[in-house]
Amino acid sequence: MTTTVEENRQSLLSPEAKAVVEATASVVAEHAEQITARFYPSMFKAHPELLRVFNQGNQATGEQSRALAASVVAYAVQLIDPSAPSFEHVMRRIAYKHISLASIRGSADVRTGRRKVDHGG
């Protein structure tokens, strides 16, 4: 039997982590686009080989940064509010996009993920 994110929503965070998300969600939401607008240039500076992986048109218009910001905020809301709309469809879309770009599997995904963790994103 497959367990969906919807079925596991209550168990995604420890009480301590939930308190952190609750305490910071409004500030992150208020500044999410500013945070993600800095994230991508910083990541590309550290890992220029990733420039070929990301759609530079979406980078130039800010679409990629806005999409990441919206996803982070929506995910945080779902984590702290069980009655919030499901985020599962967004997570699936993100996962399918990354899987479909086989060239970023492995070390590039690790670098991107590490960049997000190192910079709080």
Task: Kindly report the average pLDDT of the chain as a whole number.
Answer: 79
Q: Is the pLDDT of residue 110 over 60?
A: no
The 10s digit of each residue's pLDDT in 8-19 is: 445 567 889 989
The answer to whether position 48 is within a domain reads yes
Position 102 scores a pLDDT of 57
Nearest to 32 by CA among 77, 60, 66, 80: 66
Higher pLDDT, 10 or 92: 92
Q: Please report where in the chains the tokens 């609750």 appear, as a residue.
A: 22
**Could you tell me the two tokens for 52?**
């070929």
CATH number for the domain harbouring residue 106: 1.10.490.10
Number of domains in the chain: 1
The answer to whether position 2 is within a domain reads no
The answer to whether position 43 is within a domain reads yes
The answer to whether position 46 is within a domain reads yes
The answer to whether position 50 is within a domain reads yes
Provide the whole-model pTM.
Answer: 0.69
The answer to whether position 6 is within a domain reads no
The answer to whether position 45 is within a domain reads yes
The answer to whether position 42 is within a domain reads yes
The parent domain of residue 54 ranges over 15-118
Report the run of H or E that residue 112 belongs to, with start and end: helix 107-118
CA dihedral 41, 45, 46, 49 (to 10 degrees): 100
Average the pLDDT over 31-54 and give the result.
Answer: 90
What DSSP character marks residue 6?
A: G
The 10s digit of each residue's pLDDT in 48-81 is: 988 888 889 999 999 999 999 999 999 888 888 8
